[in-house]
Amino acid sequence: MSRIRARFWDPTGQRYGIPTYPWRMAPPHLLTKRQLAAEGLRPGGQGVQAQILWSSTRHGAPGVRAAYLYYRRFALPKRTPSPAQLAALAKATAARRTCPGCRTDVGYVLPRHLGTCLDCARGVAA
């Protein structure tokens, strides 16, 4: 094992507080949120169980980066919205598209800074 990798090799969490693995060396039962999502899962109630640490010079700020890991066996299926939830969402977006000035659904979400549809805003300005 190289020195760089040994630096982040801490499966017992003695050094870092939680089990820590170098890039590409985490055991297969520990997954990131994104990996869980790819299997239709979410972390559920469990907190972060372990982490991957690596040094990176990308994204502007060089330094140690972390990816948090969760147990697959404690993961829960992703929630799919119920018809009632979808209806509530549709209602909420409809409200955001309805202009208080001309009382019509203008087909786009009203710009917050105007508070009305573009036509009404232009009418007020003119």
Q: Which stretch binds Zn ion (CB under 5 A): 22-30, 33-41, 51-59, 109-117?
A: 109-117
Nearest approach in angstroms of CB 125 to Zn ion is: 13
Residue 99 makes contact with Zn ion by CB under 5 A = yes
Residue 102 makes contact with Zn ion by CB under 5 A = yes
Between the CA of residue 29 and those of 10, 61, 98, what are the distances in Å?
16, 30, 48
Residue 120 makes contact with Zn ion by CB under 5 A = yes
In eight-state DSSP terms, residue 109 is P
Using the structure block, give the residue that is written with the tokens 């939680």: 18
Nearest approach in angstroms of CB 121 to Zn ion is: 8
Nearest approach in angstroms of CB 111 to Zn ion is: 12
DSSP string, 46-92: ----EEEEEEE--SSS-EEEEEEEEESTT-EEPP---HHHHHHHHHH
Residue 117 makes contact with Zn ion by CB under 5 A = yes
Residue 110 makes contact with Zn ion by CB under 5 A = no
Residue 4 makes contact with Zn ion by CB under 5 A = no
Residue 101 makes contact with Zn ion by CB under 5 A = yes
Positions that interact with Zn ion (CB under 5 A): 99, 101-102, 116-117, 120
